[in-house]
Structure formats: C-alpha cells, structure tokens
Amino acid sequence: MAESIERLRGRLIDLHLHSDGSISVPAARHLAELGGTPLDALTDAEVFDRLSVGDSCEDLNEYLDKFVFPLSLVQTREQVAGHIRLLQDELRERGYAYAELRFAPQSFCERGLTQRQVMEAALDGLRGSDFEARLILCCMRGADNLAANLETIELAAEYLGDEVVATDLAGAEALFPTADFAPVFARARELGVPFTIHAGEADGPQSVRDALAMGAARIGHGVRAVEDPALVRELAERQVPIEVCYTSELQTGALEGVGARAVGELIEAGCRVVVCSDNNSVSNTWVGHELMLLSDVLGRGDSDVDRLLGNAVEASFADEANKTRLRATIAG
C-alpha cells in the first residue's frame, strides 16, 4: 500500500473534509495555547483520544460527540484562522493538490464571535497558506437554529467566489430530517449558492431524495441510496456526485445493513463516486488511506483509483481554470 500511496502524492483531492474534525495533535496543542488553555497535562495519546472516535462507536450521534473537544479549541479569531492555516499546511505535506474545507460558522460562536467574524478569521487562515483550498459553509441540523442557518446562507452568498464555493447541511440526520431544512436551501437557491447536503448516512434513501428535490449539487455520504435501486439509477443517470467517506461510514453504522460493498455497488451502477475522508482526526484517516482501503476492499487497481480522482476534479466546486489545472495534475 505504501508504494501505491506514494504514486498519489501531489494528486490527492478531498471534497468532504470537516476542518474542525481534522485537528491533529500538534495543531490541538497550538490552538489550546492560543486560547490560553494549554494541554500540558495531557500526553499526545490522551489528546489523540479526545480527538478521535474509538472502534466501539455505535452511531452517528456518538460520532458527533467527538466534536465537542475540537470545537472548544476553535472559539477565538486566532484559533479559527490558525486551524484553517495549519490544516492546509498538513494537507500539502501529505501530498494533496486541492481540498474543500467545510465548517459551520455558528459552531465557533461560543465565546462571543459572530458568524461574520468567524468567516473573516477563516478567510485570514485560508490566505495564510498557499495551498489550494476552498471553503464550504455548513448549516447545522437542529430544532431551533433556523435564523443561524439563514445567516450562514446569507454569508455564503456574500462571500461566494474564489474562496467560498458552497454551503452544506451537517449534523444529526436521523434526529432532524433533511426535508425540515427545505426553507434554508430554498434561500440558497434564490441567492445562487450551490450546496451539498449530508444525506443517506444516518437516514435512508428518502433523505437522499429530499436533498435532490431541494437542489443539492452533491450528496454527502449517500451510501444508503443502495437500499433503493430506482434512486441509484437516478443518481447514475444524473451523475450527481456522491461523497463517500468509507471509514467514517463504517464507524457511524451508515454501512450497517447495506454492507461494505455498497460503495462498490454505486460505482458499478455508474454513479459518480468521490472518495473523501470526512474527518482526518475524528476518523483517524486521510484521503490517500481511503483510496487505498477502498481499492483493497473492492479489488480495484490503479486505473480505478485514477478514475475516482478524476471524479473528484469534475465534482469539485472549483472554477473551470482550477479544474483544468487539477485535470493536468491528476493526469500526472
């Protein structure tokens, strides 16, 4: 596997990467220092345990609990900017060519920042590295955050361009059904903001159908679409990108009942599957590992991996000039 991953250096793309779920141990220590709460009393192993979910994770809700600690490290302007910049530098070191980093501005407001201040800090962080990355702003599933979600959409529309490229809907899918957020994404459509939606992870095929009906340009996770063959055919015919995060989906139980070969079924049906990591730290993975893992599980070779990388280029929210550059990079 090491030789195969080395072949991918400089060609890796991740379109589904939560910045707050991808804070490394060194980054966590740096961010804690910035916030005035150093982690000196903790060993690296103890910090890692706080950042990563264990093998005994039962469902998406338990998985999401792992965000409490990393989010506590990203609540000041300096921390917000720092975690975006540090993540970009780490991605470059691992051989990435491009990434779309997603986060929910409303989740970084616990110590008094406004969503606009979070956005400005994140952009400062983005500009602090020359790694090629873009931002996706997440709305969050919840019972009483309509105003906060609409504010996120408005900010995405205001900043949409070279640095902010889309919005998303993340959070506890089974507890807060996708269809409940139709008004939020109706506003996104009005403002011309593209969006992806987490669907078909903790909830079934209807969640994916609801996301498509709302106008989602991509589907986050989406593996439970295989429970509905007609839906799989529709996804294949429309070539809607499906952001598969294999390790994460095993951890959250998204693949329970549909089997680990669900990803293979989507590929074989002609769906535009994009391999992503979801959360480098929470899931203890990265996109190079995900590509090799899926290649091993599905028995696919280098040409299939190259095809998946090509899918990522075409599915990205990058502008055409960047897609042209990425196509050349992927081609080697």
Can you give the pLDDT at residue 147? Answer: 98
**Residues 126 and 136 sit within 8 Å (Cβ to Cβ):** no
Burial class from Cβ neighbours inside 10 Å (0-12, 13-18, 19+) for residue 181 reads buried
Question: Each residue of 235-290: pLDDT tens digit?
Answer: 999 999 999 999 999 999 999 888 888 999 999 999 999 999 999 999 999 999 99
Annotated active-site residue 151? The verdict is no
Residue 303 has pLDDT above 90, yes or no: no
Can you give the pLDDT at residue 252? Answer: 92
Task: Give the chain's domain count.
Answer: 1
The proportion of the chain whose per-residue pLDDT surpasses 90, expressed as a percent, equals: 88
Can you give the pLDDT at residue 302? Answer: 77
Which domain does 83 fall in, by range?
2-331
Q: Phi and psi (nearest 5°) for 139?
A: -80, 160
| Lowest mean pLDDT segment, chosen from 20-29, 42-51, 199-208, 258-267 | 258-267
Question: Each residue of 4-41: pLDDT tens digit?
Answer: 778 888 999 999 999 999 999 999 999 999 999 999 99
- What is the H or E stretch that residue 252 is in? helix 246-252
Can you give the pLDDT at residue 216? Answer: 98
Can you give the pLDDT at residue 1? Answer: 57
DSSP string, 259-304: -TTHHHHHHHTT--EEE--B-TTTTT--HHHHHHHHHHHHT--HHH
* Active-site residue, from 100, 201, 243, 249: 201
Could you tell me the CATH number of the domain that includes residue 157?
A: 3.20.20.140
What is the side-by-side order of every strand in the sheet holding 273-275? 196-199, 218-221, 242-244, 273-275
Can you give the pLDDT at residue 2? Answer: 53
Residue 3 has pLDDT above 70, yes or no: no
Q: What tokens were used for 328?
A: 């050349």
Q: What is the pTM of this model?
A: 0.96
**Packing angle, helices 205-214 and 182-191, rounded to 10:** 30
Neighbouring-strand partners of residue 13:
98
> Where does the pLDDT of residue 74 fall: very low under 50, low under 70, confident under 90, or very high at 90 and above?
very high
* Average pLDDT taken over every residue of the chain: 95
Can you give the pLDDT at residue 273? Answer: 97
Question: Each residue of 92-121: pLDDT tens digit?
Answer: 999 999 999 999 999 999 999 999 999 999
